[in-house]
Amino acid sequence: MSNSLLISLAAMLALLPAGMLPLMQPAAGDARDGRYWALIAVAVAGPALWVIIHLGRVWHTGLAAALWLSITVSVVLFAGLALVNRVAWRLTPLLIGYLFLLAVLATIWQHAPERPLSGAVPAVWLQLHILVSIVAYGLLTLAAVAGTGVFVQERALKNKRPNAFTRHLPSVAEGEALQARLLGASAAVLTVALASGMAITWLERRALLRLDHKTVLSLMTFAVIVALLWVHQRGGLSGRRSARYVLLAYLLLTLAYPGVKFVTDVIIG
């Protein structure tokens, strides 16, 4: 078994305990105790170690690197969110379960071929654009998880079938409020990502936009997020309908970032 595979497996398994602990806690009250934060620290350290080892000296552009960067940024952002928000920690099982699936995909395609970075743009500027884009993707990941929580919670209430899992999730009102804040943050960071991407395109081609799949899908994501925020301010959309549109925005950005890499590096490559 190669060292790369061992590191990937270790990073993947480091996520699981943090996702399982909240389900073992009482549903009522705040269970953010020392054990919770210790396991969140382990969940951060596992993927972060993968990134440090593989990207510390040489920047990789493959699908596995993109997925592990997304996982690392998402879990770091969530740790900060759980620290300042009293209900966000309740989304831990949902988020960790999803990130674990991404880690499995990253491990499967860890040897997929990569495309080189553009030589027409300073590497530092290009890496900064990538990092800003990943932060935007991480924030939208958290918004999508919050939206999924709203969807699951409202469906359980509608069917009058709450269970142990749904009792751990934030209430519908709390989930919607959290989702709206994360959408606002996603829109702000995505604006910076789009602007830096336009600057890179200008340096490469002396044009502001390159209408490829990634750009079109990113612009569509931005339009959906802005429309959602506008409707939310007017109080015209809530519950599962709002969550569906958040998931649509997340799907579009997923297709724009790891989706395009999957096509170019795995299918075509």
Give this prediction's pTM.
Answer: 0.90
Per-residue CA distances from 247 to 67, 107, 120, 127 (Å): 18, 25, 35, 27
Residues 132-142 pLDDT 10s:
999 999 999 99
Which residue from 154, 156, 146, 155 is spatially nearest to 177, judged by alpha carbons?
A: 146
Tell me, what DSSP letter sits at residue 56?
S
- The pair of three-digit structure tokens given for residue 39, joined into one six-digit string: 């396991």
Q: Rounded to whole angstroms, how far apart are CA atoms 163 and 176?
A: 20
Residues 123-164 pLDDT 10s:
777 878 888 999 999 999 999 999 999 999 988 888 878 777
> How many domains does the structure of the chain reveal?
1
User: What is the average pLDDT across 189-217?
Assistant: 83
Lowest mean pLDDT among 103-107, 139-143, 144-148, 207-211: 207-211
Q: Considering the chain, what percentage of its residues have pLDDT values greater than 70?
A: 88
**Which of 131-145, 167-181, 213-227 is the most confident on average?**
131-145
CA-angle at 78, arms to 76 and 81, nearest 5°: 115
Parent domain of 137:
3-268
Q: At 60, is the secondary structure helix, strand, or coil? A: coil
pLDDT higher than 90, residue 70: yes
| Sign of the torsion formed by the C-alpha atoms of 103, 104, 108 and 109 | negative
